[in-house]
Amino acid sequence: MTVVVRSPMGGNNNLKGARSMAEEYDNTDRGAAFAPFPTQALILQGKLNDRGNDRKVTLVKDQTRDGSTIIEVYEKVGVLFENDKKGNDAAPDYTGPFNETRRLAAWRKMKDDKPYMTFNVSDKQQSRQTANEINLEPFEEDKIPF
């Protein structure tokens, strides 16, 4: 997955800038998404086979700082489903699977009349044990009277 960071750094190193704040802030298993830049446009979507494994991809046309056209390739890593909050305003607006073993939760937000989303990634909760996972060994010799 291609991630392009668009926060130009510069200025006096003695000032608390975005870079120094990012170094102090632990954003592990968190994220945010914002409206696309005016230069970005979704152009295509499809599958890409990598060594026998199909991967769902999206192509986004964009520009570099010098104005050159590029196409960024993004890979599907999860799906979000709308969540029925049932009166719990703190619950995420969307949840779904993320990669193979994790869950993604997302909340819709607004700042300065601009929509964005925040994310939390967590391990999947353990599901109920299936019959194959339950140790039936102590019961194998029991006789059932019917």
What is the C-alpha to C-alpha distance for residues 133 and 117, in angstroms, rounded to an integer?
Answer: 38
Diameter of the chain measured on Cα atoms: 83
Give residue-wise pLDDT tens across range 26-45.
899 999 999 999 999 999 99
Give residue-wise pLDDT tens across range 84-115.
888 898 999 999 999 989 999 999 999 999 99
Place of tokens 């979000």: 80
For the chain, give every domain's residue range: 37-76, 77-127
Neighbour tally for 98: CB within 10 Å = 21
What is the C-alpha to C-alpha distance for residues 46 and 62, in angstroms, rounded to an integer?
Answer: 18
Neighbour tally for 40: CB within 10 Å = 14
Quick one: what percent of the chain has pLDDT higher than 70?
70
Give residue-wise pLDDT tens across range 72-88.
999 999 999 999 888 89
List the structure tokens of 104: 């993604």
